[in-house]
């Protein structure tokens, strides 16, 4: 299931405690991030097993455009996580809305 940039912005403004996983590469993450966990997509299948959280906890997965994060949603679901959401349009949609 997707989450829109509008919904994510509202939830962040309301200071909700969110678990965000950013699957972009190191340079992209260093340039701009929302403060989430940084796990590049290529490492996600390995590191997903080590995530210290409940399998039904909401996870919001982000990337630049929303394409890698869609793949990441599938990886996390295969690892047993059931409440995984993809940021539709990625960081670009979020930044456009919040610029």
Q: How confident is the model at residue 50 (pLDDT cuts 50, 70, 90)?
A: confident
For the segment 20-43, what is each residue's pLDDT rounded down to a tens digit? 999 999 999 999 999 999 999 999
Q: E-strand spans in the chain?
A: 2-3, 19-22, 37-38, 59-62, 84-87
pTM of the entire structure? 0.95
C-alpha separations of 21 from 37, 55, 58, 73 in Å: 5, 14, 11, 10
What residue ranges define each of the domains in the chain, with the CATH number in brackets?
A: 2-97 (3.40.250.10)
């Amino acid at each position: 299931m997707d989450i829109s940039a509008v919904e994510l912005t509202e939830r962040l403004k309301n200071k909700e405690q969110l678990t965000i996983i950013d699957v972009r590469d190191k340079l992209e993450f260093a340039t701009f991030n929302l403060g989430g966990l940084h796990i590049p997509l290529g490492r996600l299948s390995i590191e997903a097993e080590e995530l210290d959280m409940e399998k039904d906890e909401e996870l919001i997965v982000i990337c630049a455009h929303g394409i890698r994060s869609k793949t990441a949603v599938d990886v996390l679901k295969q690892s047993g996580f059931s409440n995984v959401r993809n940021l539709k349009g990625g960081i670009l949609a979020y930044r456009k809305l919040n610029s």
